[in-house]
Amino acid sequence: MARRKKGEKIDGWICLDKPAGMTSTQALGKVRWLLNAQKAGHGGTLDPLATGILPIALGEATKTIPYCQDHLKAYTFEIVWGEERSTDDAEGEVTATSPVRPGENAIRDILPQFTGEIMQVPPRFSAIKIDGRRAYDMARDGEEPELLSRPVYIKSIELCKNVSKNTTFKCLCGKGTYMRSLGRDIARALGTVGHIASLRREMVGPFTLENAISLAKLEETGHSAVLPVETVLGDIPALALNEREAARLKSGQRVSFIARPDMERLHRAGIDAEQPVAALALLNGKPIALVDVDGVEVSPRRVLNL
């Protein structure tokens, strides 16, 4: 007999406004405990120092986490000039100092260098794995993790406020971009050193501060704060299926769209049969699977048991 899972089967997303001083794992555990959820995962780590949007996937929504991670993210962060730190934020030890305080014009002039696709070396204290070990574990053990430069995408970055030793920025970027590395590299490019003093994530795709909820508020509202599984899937086509097609997909079989009405359905869904694409399969408006559409073949990628 299969062991019964502890907790309730809850499927959907919580748009959490994470407080400072809590790791993403701790926040995830708190949400899962408050809702008594069987299964949960998060859609992108936030440092303990950081606050703001931490998408929490519950139940079948965990199957859509990769789609959440692909969305653009918006941050507001503050650089303190003159001190570089081991963690590239205020929690680390000072590793270098400089008397140089860049002026506002110099800062604005250099920002185009950090827009578009740029190369970035992640912080030493990061969750990236090197030969199976997390970089932050190696750094805490006194080792120097060898972190390679990698491409990241920054759609925009703007200076919001500049006051002597502190400058505040807004940034819109793609997945895998570290604000701590960005702050460190901007400072170095300006002939000084610096670190992130505060960081707030204001958006992850459809998750914004407007639909975010604090842990205290979540404790009051409970399940009513859960957003639909398909919240993160607004950027992919939605393909309506009939019951026979849905049954085949749910059993792991492919469906062929050969007849003219079937091809018209693909067209109405915005799917070009000549271009492979991911889609959300629906039955009577209810999500049933994430699928791959390649030509006339529709194959199940992840079945959603909702």
Supply the CATH number for residue 148's domain. 3.30.2350.10
The answer on 98 and 181 residing in a single domain is: yes
The answer on 80 and 181 residing in a single domain is: yes
The answer on 97 and 78 residing in a single domain is: yes
- φ and ψ of 139, to 5 deg: -65, -40
d(CA 197, CA 83): 11
Answer yes or no: is 3 within a domain.
no
The answer on 138 and 48 residing in a single domain is: no
* Amino acid identity for residue 37 in this structure: A
- φ and ψ of 164, to 5 deg: 50, -100
Beta bridge partners of 172: 74, 156
| Known catalytic residue at 47 | yes
pLDDT digits (tens, 9 = 90+) for 24-49: 999 999 999 999 999 999 988 898 89
Q: Is 181 helix (H, G, I), strand (E, B) or coil?
A: helix
The structure tokens 């003093």 sit at 197
Out of 17, 47, 88, 185, pick the active-site residue. 47
DSSP secondary structure letters along 63-111: GGHHHHHTS-EEEEEEEEETEEETTSBTTS-EEEE------HHHHHHHG
pLDDT digits (tens, 9 = 90+) for 126-181: 566 666 666 656 656 566 666 778 899 999 999 999 988 999 999 999 998 999 99
The answer on 263 and 142 residing in a single domain is: no
d(CA 77, CA 166): 10
The answer on 139 and 221 residing in a single domain is: no
**Residue 47: domain span:** 12-70+206-232
Q: What is the mean pLDDT of residues 213-228?
A: 94
Answer yes or no: is 188 within a domain.
yes
Strands (E), the chain: 12-18, 40-42, 51-58, 73-81, 83-85, 94-97, 116-120, 129-130, 133-134, 150-163, 166-173, 194-204, 207-208, 238-241, 255-256, 277-283, 286-294, 297-303
Q: Is the pLDDT of residue 105 over 80?
A: yes
Tell me the percentage of the chain whose pLDDT exceeds 70: 90
At which of 214, 232, 250 does a domain end? 232
Answer yes or no: is 1 within a domain.
no
d(CA 265, CA 262): 5
d(CA 196, CA 205): 23
Answer yes or no: is 66 within a domain.
yes
Answer yes or no: is 49 within a domain.
yes
The answer on 269 and 123 residing in a single domain is: no
Name which residue leads in pLDDT, 270 or 216: 216
Tokens at residue 58, please?
A: 């519950």
The answer on 48 and 155 residing in a single domain is: no
Beta bridge partners of 178: none
Answer yes or no: is 2 within a domain.
no
Answer yes or no: is 85 within a domain.
yes
Answer yes or no: is 90 within a domain.
yes
The answer on 225 and 143 residing in a single domain is: no
The answer on 87 and 47 residing in a single domain is: no
At which of 147, 182, 203 does a domain end? 203
The answer on 20 and 166 residing in a single domain is: no
The number of domains in the chain is 3
Q: Is the pLDDT of residue 237 over 80?
A: yes
The answer on 210 and 199 residing in a single domain is: no
**pLDDT-wise least confident of 5-9, 47-51, 289-293:** 5-9
